[in-house]
Structure 1
Amino acid sequence: MDLTITTAELATAAADVIRLVPGKLVDPVLSGLLLTATAQGVELAANDRERTARVTCDALVHSEGQILVPAKPLAETLKALEQPQVRLVVEGTRLAIRAEGARFALPLLDVELHPGVPSPPAAGGSVSARLLASALSTVAATAARDEALPIFTGVRVRSEGPNLVLRATDRYRMAIATIPWQPGSASAEVDALIPATLLAEVGKQVNGSVSIGVDANRLALTWDDMVVTTAVLDGSYLTETKLALADVDTHVELDADTFSNATRRVALFTDTRGVVSVEVGDTHLRLRTADRQTGEAEESVKATIDGGRTSPSYQARYLIDALRPFAGRRVHLAIQPGMRATVVTAVEPGEVDLRYIIMPMLPPKTT
């Protein structure tokens, strides 16, 4: 294999693939980057048997071929180069990386042991990359990070008529985002549980329009020259219909930023659980907390209130997370009595229809 390519383009492509498929450190082959040079350019691909990613770059190919090299050393070398162009040449058992005034060489791995990158499932429909990225910035962050509970570390991606709905929960909160969906055919359906860590990275990279397809075992996302696939889990358990959301007795409207900022200040005085009480008045919410060690704090926030006077308590960081995606807007809190969930929505919904469900906590002990 022998080719010449723009350094920045190849460096970006290699970094993108590695972030999508970090690789298996215990297996050098599954941590490798598969390079395939043809007359159409060069394809970079990775496969750790659970995820795959491949991207195509324009290149001047002098000699076609396919090789497997350590992914991170290649990406780090390309990132460090300042020369505008780089030439990749196979020299015996090494890949030489040549730039003006410099040469680096990486060992070749056994390409025959690599599983390759199979064709992705056919696209079932497409969504706007901008709206998908916006939805994922909230939903993927709501999934659990504890690998001991893998079913809570994913995002359920489901097509529902003209919409694509994304759901995630860590058992204490749930985010549901709905965006427009363009089905590929009348019978095309998508319903799969996808690792949140992968979708969080997808949200950072997507551009233009994103095609989504699913089969019995895999889901594929395609945009520009990138194709990503991942193994899927059964995510049918993940639905807000199993939560009691019909007993709302208190409705509150207020500015999200004002509420969030007040929560941050009062949270400086919380106990070890980080819980703040939200007392509902006639025209305001009063945030309160007290702890023998840290002291006490209270702050009032103006609000429009209708209905009962249920006054829940929340873990401060979860409340702040729930308000963050509504920055710059007014929010509506649908509060249920007892230890039932509270639903946070925008008073004036945007392009992404977002609902954030947060569970209350036992109130902090008073001093």
Structure 2
Amino acid sequence: MDVTAPAHRLSAAVSAASRLLPARAGLRLRADAAGLTVAGSDPDLAVRFACPATTHTDGSVAVPAAPFAETLRMLDTDLVRLVVEGSRLALRLDNARFALPLLSSEAGLPTPEPPQVSEVDGAMFASALRIVAGTASKDDPLPLFTGVRVQAADHLTLTASDRYRMAVARLPLRAPGSLDVLVPATLLTEAARQAKGNVGLHAGRGRFGLSWDGGLVGTAVLDAGFLSEDSIPSAAVDTTVTLNADALAAAVRRVGVYAEDRRVLTLEVGGSQVRLASARQDTGEAEETLKADVSGGRTSPSFQARYLLDALQAFTGERVVLSIQPGMRACILRPEEPGEVRLTYYPMPMLAR
């Protein structure tokens, strides 16, 4: 193999693959008339990124991902030439040479990609996913809560929950499709961050994939059946509050400073206002009142401040409607004026001390 590639484009492709693959993974480089392809895989994951290049001699080799990515990241040059020299892949520059050992012929072999079932706008998908994936659990011993449920029919639905809150986003598809999988949230977020333009959604045989011009990420999936918005009762709403999300978030930050270790604060709703209150034995107490449009009776649910802030950040610059249910049922947050992406957030109330 002998190929010349733009250093920054090659570095971007190799770095993207390295971030997604395990630390000791190998990368397979394939050069042909179409350019250079960077690919890698393990039993659960497969990635592929394209890089423009001038191919002098076709070929395919595998090299260790981590040192290859680190070397490319530090190069200060426009072009880099990759040439196989015996049992090494040499990176040749005008004034330098670096050589990586070649791995076995099986390393980084591509995994067949599942068929495409639909397509979605990449920027819209990534934006919605950042919000929804933020509610997935970071607790690996509970893997079923570390994923995002991806469902497609006439529209795309993204759902995630860590048992204390749930977020659901609905967004339009470029074409109808049939899909229902649970995908690891961290991986899905990183893949969506890399995607550009329209993004293909792939599914089949226990796998899920995203594809776009120049890239593909595929992964094994988890069991999706249990994670559903339908599992949250939402028919008992007796009070609704409509107000500016940014103003409420700012008040939550200020009043939350005075909450106890669990950082629980109370929203006392009544008349045409919301009063936020919290107290902490060693630092004192705080309260703040905001004007709001209130429908229904008086109520005073309590929430963990950081969960409420996470929910409100999803509605930055908008007026938000809080639909409050009695007892310990979830509160429902939606924008007053729904956009193209329809987002619903369900923070669970807490027991106030």
TM-score by length of 2: 0.98
1:5 partner letter: A
2:129 alignment counterpart: 136
> Structure 1: where are the runs of 5+ without partners?
none
2:170 partner letter: T
| Native 8 Å contact 1:341 1:359 kept in 2 | yes
1:150 alignment counterpart: 143
Deviation at 1:97, TM superposition (A): 0.7
What CA deviation, in whole Å up to 9, does each residue of 1:10-44 have, x standing for no partner?
0111111122x231x4xx4xx11111111221110
> Structure 2: where are the runs of 5+ without partners?
none
Distance 1:77 1:128 in 2: 34
- What count of residue pairs does the alignment treat as equivalent? 353
Within the candidate set 324, 330, 341, 1:341 is matched to: 330
1:12 alignment counterpart: 12
Distance 1:69 1:178 in 2: 41
Distance 2:280 2:8 in 1: 54
Within the candidate set 161, 173, 178, 2:170 is matched to: 178
Within the candidate set 41, 49, 71, 1:47 is matched to: 41
Deviation at 1:216, TM superposition (A): 2.3
Deviation at 1:203, TM superposition (A): 2.6
| Native 8 Å contact 2:270 2:299 kept in 1 | no
Distance 1:175 1:169 in 2: 7
2:28 alignment counterpart: 34
Within the candidate set 250, 259, 266, 1:261 is matched to: 250
Deviation at 1:240, TM superposition (A): 1.3
What CA deviation, in whole Å up to 9, does each residue of 1:74-95 have, x standing for no partner?
1111111111000011111111
Q: 1:111 is paired with a residue of what secondary structure?
A: coil
What CA deviation, in whole Å up to 9, does each residue of 1:113-150 have, x standing for no partner?
x2611221111110111110111110111100000000
Q: 2:134 is paired with a residue of what secondary structure?
A: helix
1:41 partner letter: G
1:248 maps to 2:237: yes
What CA deviation, in whole Å up to 9, does each residue of 1:243-277 have, x standing for no partner?
11110000000000000000001111110111001
Structure 1 segments, 4+ long, off by >4 Å, are none
What CA deviation, in whole Å up to 9, does each residue of 1:209-236 have, x standing for no partner?
0111211211111111101111011211
1:315 maps to 2:308: no
Say which is worse superposed, 303-312 or 252-261, in terms of deviation: 303-312
RMSD of the TM alignment (CA)?
A: 1.1
1:116 maps to 2:109: yes
What CA deviation, in whole Å up to 9, does each residue of 1:164-214 have, x standing for no partner?
000000000000000001336xxx411100000011112311211011121
| Native 8 Å contact 1:267 1:275 kept in 2 | yes
Distance 1:57 1:130 in 2: 21
Aligned residues: percent identity?
Answer: 47
